[in-house]
Each structure stands twice: as structure tokens, then as C-alpha cells.
Chains A and B, each alone.
Chain A
Amino acid sequence: MTQSAPLPATVAASFGKRHPLRDLAGFAAIILAGAAGYFLFPDNLALLTRIIAVALLVLSLDLVTGYCGVASLGQATMFGAGAYAAGFACVHGGVTEPLTLVLVGAIAGAAAGLVMGAIMLRAHGLAQLVLSIAIVQLGHEAANKFSSYTGGSDGLAGLSVSPLFGVFEFDLWGRTAYLFGLVLLVVVFALLRFVVSSPFGVLCRGIRQDPVRVKAMGASVFPVMLKMFVISGAVAGVGGALAAISTQVVGLDSISFELSANALVMLVLGGLGSLYGALIGAVIFMGFEHTVSAYNPFHWLTMVGALLVAVVLVAPGGLASLLDKVPGLGRREGGKP
């Protein structure tokens, strides 16, 4: 192993270097889109905040499905855990500081991720998918049964959140909640970019593609995937806490199969294995759903279905795959960013 000659200059120069243009453009796009939403739709900030909360859920799903290859139809379990934990802490625990509530949501989501991962990772394929459905249904039923704590089908109401940093009130128009959500999204997104680009993130990609090869490298698969479930749970929990803080109520829909399934549809729409895809999918799906349902309250689901069919036919890799065709923004040689 000592006979190595220098690599060709072009290759040697590119070793170990990253391509930050896509990251910078991505962050700029998120912030610009967020600012545009604030000024263009001042009457719809509650909806936009809801989109951010769900985008966090879809991001969390992307971590386990897109990066680790574990399909889940129960991701709302972690979202709901975060929402209810923040709600409990506020209504029953007297915690009203919003950042603390987000932290509570993240911890509860991470704990739910730990339990969910420990159960789901015992199975494979369809059995794993069915387990995810069973878990979210159990969570939903538990939230319904313990109505004295959760409010049951009426929801856990009465959250009274303190002003952010003691200054910014959560106003009736939802301005503070929206900007708070936008900052949370950018921070979480930046952290996740770091996670998926780290050795751990690359190892997860390897596991998704061929776990036998990963084991032949001497890496254990189970603890790595469990760790990703915990991170995913924390992200979903932040989304749940944001939803609770912004609406000041936690409903059973936050821990439902329907929300889980919608999150998977959004992820497929945007593109798996790309954090940008999760964001794009959430924004397009929820924006389209909102617009079309207002335009035609009877047949809007048909139109949503048509959109999905069109996207799958035109961009099977999801809408984010279209970004790859933009010069300078495409994934670098080697596939994923």
C-alpha cells in the first residue's frame, strides 16, 4: 500500500471538498419564501404556520423513510407526542414559555421515536409498515380514552403561551407564531443538513441501499437506525409543539393515521431522500389542498389525486428532482447531496 502515485490533479483537487452553492441557494429560498408568505398572505398566517408544522413532520419522515429506507404510516405518533406533551406542560404543568414548550415537544417526540423505532426495527417490509399503522392507531386511541387529560375528541384546549422572549405576544393574526415557526424551521433544517451530511447520515444512506454491505464493513445497523428514529422523533415533536403553540389547542388529528398518510404522500410528492423534497412536498400539497378545496369544496380531493398522478408521471423522483436539472443546483456527481 505504499506504491501510490499522486492522483490526477483534477481528482486530487476535488477530494474532500463540498459544494455549498446548493445549500446557500436552499437557505436563501426558504427565507425568501417565508418572507414572501408573510407579506403576500397576511390573512393566512395560521395556515402558513400549520404548513411549517407539517413540513417539520414531513422532514422527520424523510429521515427514516428517505434516508434509512423504513416506510412508515405512523409518523404522526411522534408529532402528536410533541403536541400533547407541549399541551400538557402548558395546561397542566404551568409551563408557558414557548421555547421551553418546543423543547418539551422535542423530548417527547424523541422518546416516542425511541419506542417506535425499537418496535418497528424488529420487523421488515410490509410487517414494519403495518406496525407503524398499529402504533399510531394505539396512540390515537390512547389520546381518545384518556380524555380527562387530553380532552378526547374535543381536544386539549386552553393553552396560554407567554410572549416570546417576554416581548413578542402570540397575536390574533398569528404573526409571531408564523415568524417563530419560520425561525424554527430554518434552524431545524440547518441542523438536519448537518446530520445528513455527517458520517452518520452517509451511513444511514448506506443502510438504506444495502444493509448487508454495511454489516460487512463492521457497522451495526440497528443502533444507527434507532438513533435516526430518535432524531426524527425530536423533529416531529418540534412540529407538534409548534402546532400546539400556534393554535393553542391539541386535537386528536395530530396523532392520526390520516396525518401520517398525508405526510407520506407529501414526501413522495416532494421527493424522498432530499430534505428540500420534504419542504416542497408539504408546501405544494397543503397549498394546493387549501386553494382547490376553496375553489371546489366537492371535488377537491379528485384534483389533489390528479396532481399526484401528474407529478409521479412527470417527475417520478418527486418535485425536488426537477431542481437537479437547474444548472448549479443539481446534485453533485455521486448522487445525493
Chain B
Amino acid sequence: MSDLFRVEGLVKSFGGLAVSNNITLAMKPGERLALIGPNGAGKTTFVNLVTGLLKPDAGRVHLGSEDVTQLGSVRRVRKGLVRTFQVTRLFQEMTPEEHVTLAILQREGKATAILARFLGNPTVSDEVEDVLTVLGLSEVARRPVSEIAYGQQRLLEIAIALALKPNVLLLDEPAAGVPSADTPRIEQALARLPEDLSVLMIEHDMDLVFRFARRVVVLAAGEIIFEGLPSAVAADARVREAYLGSYADARRVA
């Protein structure tokens, strides 16, 4: 099966600090990949480089057979490369219903229409309803985002991304800041993602990573130091040294 998403030799430095050092990575359709690493390893920078928010010093980004390195972030989204944010970025005055509606209309090229109603299109409303129900957000569908729980806001980030019908979804710490009692809701949402969707997830919650990912990539100081099965990551000496030491020890003791 050919790669759906591929980066080659991605390099980025801020001043003299290399935050992405020759990263090469590929994903197949439907793959579940976790990108982990200690704080400051360059994970979010990697997502910003891939999505076009940052311009790389060197390297290429491919989506399918197309080289999208020179494309801006907006055009990459339109080609199916969609992300969520580590720190929730939502419109505080709008409701989940409005967020997802806007995403669907944007996907269909109707978000700039003036001679149309925003709400009330039955086809769009049905899809909005589907997306919000799958993510367990229907009860808060018409509440302003500023009034819903943070865990629900994280789910809404995923809902918006799904409404864009991506080919590749980059989830930047979807469980970050979510109370542990609500983490299962995030996990359920991840388990329900479409099977043909390729998902790259950055996450610090290792239990979530190990349950979600079929492949793990470990980043440290802007370099990939491990790539393999989740079951092998804790045993890797470089990973233990760079990142997982205390966690692996804790698991062994437990």
C-alpha cells in the first residue's frame, strides 16, 4: 500500500537551536501513529511544519503523490491535511453546532456565501447532528463554547476536524488538560474515528498512547530516536534514557 502522507528530511532551526533535525516519516491509509517525546522535543513544531504554519528550512511534505511543501496552510487543509490544537482554539461565542456547521460549509465551499442561511440546511443539519452525537456533544450543541466543560471543548476540536473529512488527521495532545474522569470520553471518540482515516497523535498520556497507537515514533531534541511497535518502546534504551525512564520504572513497580 502506498504512503498517504510522507515527510522527508524536514529541517527547522530557531536561531542556533535545531527543533526539527532531518525528520523522515510516512503513514499508510488508516494508520494509527503516536508521536511522543519529552517537553521541548519538537512535536508541536513538527505539526506546525507539516500543516504549513511554519516554513521548513529544508525537506519535503507529500500528501498522497503530491508535494505540498510550497502550499500554504489553508490549501493543505483543503487537500485533506487537518489538525487539532494543543491549546484549544475555538470561537468562545459560538456553539458546537455553529462550529461544526461552519466546518461543513467550508468543506463544501459554501462558507463565504452571502445569499444563504447559515443554519437550517437539512443535509448540513443532519451531518452536524451525526458528528456531534458520535462525539457525545449533542447535549451541549447549542450552548456557547465558553459555557461547556474543557473536556467537551477538546472533543469539539476533534468534531471540527472530522467535519472537514480529512485524509490525514493530526491530533496535538487531544487529552491535554482534560480531567482524568473525562479521558475515557476522549478515548471513546478516538476509537470511533473512521477506519480509513490516517491519524497521527501527539500525547503525553502513555496509557492512551498504548491503547490507541499501532506504531509509535519517539522524538527527542528534534530527532526521531525510535520508531516501532508500542510494545517495544518502553524497552528501548535510548527512549528510556531520553524520556520514558521514570514511566517504565513506575510500570515495572506497579
State whether the Cβ of A333 lies closer than 8 Å to any Cβ in chain B: yes
- Please determine whether B125 and A16 come into contact, CB atoms closer than 8 angstroms: yes
Q: Nearest A residue to B81 by beta-carbon distance? A: A218
For B101-125 the 0/1 string (1 means CB < 8 A from A) is 0110111001111111111111001
Which positions in A face B, CB cutoff 8 Å?
Answer: 1, 3-8, 11-12, 14-18, 194-195, 197-203, 205-206, 209-210, 212-213, 215-220, 223-224, 227, 333-336
Interchain CB contact (< 8 A) of A333 among B85, B90, B118, B142: B142
CB contacts (< 8 Å) of A335 on chain B: these are 93-94, 144
Query: Do residues A15 and B129 form an inter-chain contact, with CB atoms below 8 A?
Result: yes
| Cα–Cα, bound, A224→B102 (Å) | 14
Q: How far is the CA of A5 from the CA of B136 in the complex (A)?
A: 10
With contact pairs A17-B119, A334-B144 given, residues A216 and B133 touching in the complex (Cβ less than 8 Å): no
Give the interface centre of A194, A209, A216, A219 by most chain B CB atoms within 10 Å.
A216
Q: Does B223 contact A (CB under 8 A)?
A: no
Cβ contact within 8 Å between A198 and B113: yes
The 3 closest A-B pairs by CB, nearest first: A335-B93, A218-B77, A4-B133
Q: How far is the CA of A172 from the CA of B222 in the complex (A)?
A: 77
B143 and A336 contacting across the interface, CB-CB below 8 Å: no
Residues of A close to B90: CB separation below 8 A: 210, 213
Known contacts A16-B120, A333-B144, A334-B144; A219 and B113 CB within 8 A of each other? no
Q: Number of A-B pairs whose CB atoms are under 8 Å?
A: 144
Closest CB-CB distance, A223 to chain B, in whole Å? Answer: 8
Q: Do A202 and B98 touch across chains, with their CB atoms under 8 A apart?
A: yes
Given contacts A1-B194, A15-B125, A219-B111, is CB(A197)–CB(B89) below 8 Å?
no
B131-A1 in contact (CB<8A): yes
Please tell me if the beta carbons of B143 and A333 are within 8 angstroms of each other in the complex: yes
Given known contacts A202-B98, A333-B143, A213 and B138 CB-to-CB distance under 8 angstroms: no
A201: which B residues are within 8 A, CB to CB?
Answer: 114, 118
Which chain A residue shows the least CB distance to B76? A218
- Whether the pair B74, A215 counts as a contact (CB closer than 8 A) is yes
Smallest Cβ-Cβ distance to A18: which chain B residue:
B119
Asked whether B247 is an interface residue with its Cβ less than 8 Å from the other chain, the reply is no
Q: Shortest distance in angstroms between A218's beta carbon and chain B's nearest beta carbon?
A: 4
Which residues, 14 to 58 on B, are CB-close (under 8 Å) to A? 51, 53
Contacts A7-B141, A203-B102: A198 and B114 contacting too (C-beta < 8 A)?
A: yes
**A18-B120, A217-B160, A334-B95 in contact; A206/B141 too (CB < 8 A)?**
no
Smallest Cβ distance from B8 to chain A, in angstroms?
24
Contact B141 A11 (CB under 8 A): yes
**Known contacts A4-B133, A210-B89, A218-B77, A199 near B144 by CB under 8 Å:** no
Task: Specify which chain B residues have a CB less than 8 angstroms from the CB of A16 in the assembled complex.
Answer: 119-122, 125
